Amino acid sequence: MRGDFDPKAPVIIGCDHGGVRLKKSIEKYLDEQGIAYQDIGTDTEEVVRYPYYAKEVAERILSGEFQRGILICSTGVGMSMMANRYPGIRASLVENCYAARTAREHTDANVLCLGGKILGDFLALEILDEWLNARFIGGRHNISLDLIEEFEKK
């Protein structure tokens, strides 16, 4: 369903080696906000492959186990490309607060992708806060989401 995220609902987090540092800051923030999470990412900077983490996050959202997820790699690009291969996943690569808010308000993004080597912690946490607390506004934006779903079926 669209727009039904509870801002306090648990989050699944996946990261590769490029996202470990930022993931730790995000987990601390989520702890402070009282938001439960499951970390399925790596915990070291030893090279691993991001598609495995994006796949697991996408599949666990589509199964209904989680409503939303966060994916972090060096740039966020690879994670967003992989996650968006799954029909029903609307992963948004975000680098500013406006994009974070509109990713939820306009496209009902269920996965936030971040660049661990692009964003500083302070900005990343502001982005996360915007994304977690924004609500899908529906209306004219449903037209585009309906088109995406139609194209996904083909």
Q: Which residue among 15, 17, 97, 106 is the active-site one? A: 106
In the residue annotation, 73 being an active-site residue is answered as yes
- Residues near 108 by Cβ (< 8 Å), separated by ≥ 6? 2, 3, 90, 136, 141, 145
The alpha carbon of residue 95 and the mean position of all alpha carbons in its chain are separated, in whole angstroms, by 12
| From 15, 17, 73, 113, the catalytic residue | 73
Enter the tokens of residue 34. Answer: 């009282």
- CB contact set of 112 (below 8 Å; sequence gap of 6+): 68, 69, 70, 71, 91, 92, 94, 100, 103, 127, 128, 131
Longest dimension (CA), the chain: 45
**Spatial distance between the Cα atoms of 66 and 12, rounded to a whole number of angstroms:** 7
Choose among 99, 102, 95: nearest CA to 119.
95
Enumerate the active-site residues. Answer: 73, 106
